[in-house]
Every structure is written in structure tokens, then in C-alpha cells.
Amino acid sequence: MSDPGRALMGVSGLDEMLCGGLIAGSAALLQGAPGTGKTTVGMQFLYEGAAKQDEPGLLVSFEQFPHTLYRDALAHGWDLRGLEQQSKLRIVFTSPQVLVSSLQSPMSPISSAIRELGVKRAVVDSMTHLQTLTRDPVQLRSHYNFLINGLRREGITALLLSEDSGPDFVRSDRGRLAFAVDAVILLRYVEIDSVMQRAIAVLKTRGSDHDKSIRRFEIARGGVVIREAFQGREGLLTGTPRRTR
């Protein structure tokens, strides 16, 4: 049986890396390079909640229209449109400005969806777009905190997606998003023997232990699957690792 204090992500191997899933009601950041699988993990997390855990979900996208998300999800076997029709999921295509003002207004479509569906899980795709709200890092940080605290107050387990901007991700994190969240998961490409592979690492989980290894992962029909830890390499997160033996 799953732990009621945890929200299983439904990603084989990732729940084990997180020692049983995300802490319910917490906010996690999933940061990754283009095409590493952020949106896929986001949809997988919402599908797990809505279809299997009786936890209705909200997907806020600034990037993809609902019909392209339905199509991409269906290729994995996830019928998101069907879940929306059953009021277990709501997909909202909007702008960062509308999202921030919506959370301030109890009558907005997003606030009503949270109430009417009893939303327990949310994905924002992606937080990087909030940078268009302001050039001031202090103000950006306050937008991040406003959003994250709003979701925490509703008891929603949030998976916030963000674009990865290179090896020094803390320095490039203008609004200090990685510090505002409870957990950070990183997706990267690594080049090994002239082949690009995908790597995943859990960098922090407030209030819980986590796997410290860097693991290989794949995307196949059915979503993301975590494989073995990389052995005998160092410098994996730079993208160009060296052999250690």
C-alpha cells in the first residue's frame, strides 16, 4: 500500500529514488534541458494521480495547446481528454500574467477548477515563463513564492517544470527557484562513448532521504522509466563525463 503522506509519481524507479514519492502537499522542481522529458513526467504524474490515486490534477501550460498534450499523452496510453470529461483533470493553456492574477482571485477559472475538482496535484509547464513577468530577481522570487505558497496552502502536490540553463544551475537561477521548492530533480543529457543518454538525479528533498546516485533513464511508450546508476564515470552533470577506471 502507498504511504498516505506521499504522492506517487507513477514513474517507475523515480518513486524509489524519492524514497516513496513526493511528500504530499509539497512543491518539487523538475529541471531539464530541451526534450529531456519534463512534460512527459508532468503528464505521467497527473495521470497517476487522476486515473489511479483518486487525486484530481491541474496542468497549467504556457507552451502547448491542450490538443497537442492530448495527442502526446495518448501516444503513451494516457487518455487525458477522458479524464477531463470525468472532472478528474483540467488542462489550462494560459499566460504567466493570467496565472498570477488568477490565484489572487477566488472567482477565476483556475481557482474555480481547484475548488470544483478538488485538485490535489498540479503541474506548471514551465516556470521559466514567469521570468517574462519582471527583470528584477527580487520580484521574480516573490512571484515564485506567491505561486508555491498558494499551492501549498491548498494542500496541492506540485511539480514545477523548468528549463535547465547549463552546468551552473544555481548561478543561472535568477529568482532562486531551486531554493523556494521542497525538492529538486534534474534531467540532463550525457555523452557516453559518442551516444547521448538521458540522466536523472534527485538533488534535494526537504524532510526525506533520497537516492544520491545519477541514473540513466529512457522514454518509451508508457512514459519515463528509470534504469541503472551510471558506474565508473565522473563529471556526469557537466554532460561530458570522464571514466574513473
Ligand X SMILES: Nc1ncnc2c1ncn2[C@@H]1O[C@H](COP(=O)(O)OP(=O)(O)OP(=O)(O)O)[C@@H](O)[C@H]1O
Stretch that binds ligand X, among 9-17, 30-38, 44-52, 230-238 (CB under 6 A): 30-38
Smaller CB separation from ligand X, 128 or 157: 128
Q: Does 36 bind ligand X (CB under 6 A)?
A: yes
Binder to Mg ion among 26, 31, 36, 39 (CB under 5 A)? Answer: 39
Q: Does 76 bind ligand X (CB under 6 A)?
A: yes
Q: Does 75 bind ligand X (CB under 6 A)?
A: yes
Binder to ligand X among 170, 220, 232, 245 (CB under 6 A)? Answer: 220
Q: Does 219 bind ligand X (CB under 6 A)?
A: yes
Stretch that binds Mg ion, among 36-44, 53-61, 89-97, 164-172 (CB under 5 A): 36-44
Query: Closest separation between CB of residue 125 and Mg ion, Å?
Result: 6
CA distance 67 to 72: 9
Q: Does 35 bind ligand X (CB under 6 A)?
A: yes
Query: Closest separation between CB of residue 58 and ligand X, Å?
Result: 17
Smaller CB separation from ligand X, 16 or 163: 163
Residues that bind Mg ion in the complex, under the rule CB under 5 A: 38-39
